[in-house]
Amino acid sequence: MKVAIIAFLVLAFYIFLRLRMTYRSTSMNVKKEEEIRRKLQELRRKREED
């Protein structure tokens, strides 16, 4: 019975870590997308001014 409990805890911990990594990478991607959008808008403004 102890083995089953330990296996379950290890599996739960592994899933938790995977979800955290996925969440981190997606939040980083969102930040990068926002940064790229901002830069594109700045470039468009500069082009319109010229």
**What is the residue-wise DSSP string for the chain?**
-HHHHHHHHHHHHHHHHHHHHHHHHHHHHHHHHHHHHHHHHHHHHHHHH-
How many structural domains are present in the chain? 1
> Residue 23 belongs to what domain range?
1-49
Dump pLDDT digits (tens) for 35-50: 999 999 999 999 888 8
Dump pLDDT digits (tens) for 16-41: 999 988 878 888 888 899 999 999 99
Between CA 15 and CA 46 the distance in angstroms is 47
pTM: 0.52
CB hemisphere CA count around 25 (13 angstroms): 5
The radius of gyration computed from the CA coordinates of the chain, to the nearest angstrom, equals 22
pLDDT of residue 27: 83
